Every structure is written in structure tokens, then in C-alpha cells.
Amino acid sequence: MTRGLRMKMQDSTVVVIDDDLRVLESLVNLLTSFGYKAKSYKSAEQFLKSGTLSQTCCIVTDVEMPQMTGLDLLKSLKNSNCAVPVIMITGKPSARSEAFYLESGALGFFRKPVDGDALVELISSACI
């Protein structure tokens, strides 16, 4: 990894939103091991109230959460003309497919357990 790329990654924050604390810890550890600055939030509402959106290069969010879902967050960001890419993750199968989330504007979609290498590769394309 070049010095310039590493500095760019350190200047950007990847936000991870999930109501499962084990998933939050695991994904934050994965991202920091690749040199990313990562912040975790237990809910979409907590993230939106944090004021960190302007420093965010990518959001990784769970689909199913109490109150505001990952899809609700994605729609809210798109309606606000926010260009921050959103990657959806889920551990619960549903009638909605990967294609549905991609058509809704998500950058990517992963089922849990998340393929860490594929996730980091997608994030790196979004945060450069």
C-alpha cells in the first residue's frame, strides 16, 4: 500500500452501524487492521445525531434494526442528496434480494457472516 493511499484512508472514516455489538466490534477491528479509521454506532439515529456524516467516506449498515432500518437510512441519505456510499449487511434472510438493495442505491450487499476481504475491497473503491 502506498503512503498516499494510507494517508487518504486515515483521513476518512468508515461508519459501521449495527444493533449487534459483536458485529460492530468485529467489523471495526477488521477495518482498523486495514488502516481505516472506523466508528461504530448501535443505531442509524445515533449516527445521524453524531454529526460525523461530513467526515464519512462509506457507511456499512445492518438492514434490520429497531426503529430506523438500514433501508430507511439509505433512502434518507439519498433524499438528502448525500453521496456517501452505503453498504448493506444482513444476517436475516428476507424476500428482498441483493438486487433490490443495489437498485435502491446501495453500493453493495453482504450476508453475515461478512466476507471481510470482499468488504474491504469494496470499501477501498469507495474511499479513494
Q: Which residue has the cell 445525531?
A: 49
In whole angstroms, what is the distance from residue 110 CA to residue 128 CA?
21
pLDDT (0 to 100) of residue 24: 97
pLDDT (0 to 100) of residue 3: 36
Instruction: Compare 71 and 98 and report the one with higher pLDDT.
Output: 71
Q: Strands 56-62, 86-90: parallel, antiparallel or unpaired by DSSP? A: parallel
Label residue 6 by pLDDT band (50, 70, 90): very low
Cell numbers representing residue 96 in the block: 428482498
pLDDT by residue (tens digit) across 23-38? 999 999 999 999 999 9
**Residue 117 is part of a domain; what is its CATH number?**
3.40.50.2300
- Give the 3-state secondary structure of 68-85: CCHHHHHHHHHHCCCCCC
Torsional sign, CA 71, 27, 123, 96: negative
Number of domains in the chain: 1
Reply yes or no on whether the pLDDT at 44 is more than 80.
Answer: yes
pLDDT by residue (tens digit) across 49-95? 999 999 999 999 999 999 999 999 999 999 999 999 999 999 986 77
Cell numbers representing residue 9 in the block: 484512508
pLDDT (0 to 100) of residue 11: 63
**Domain residues for 118?**
3-126
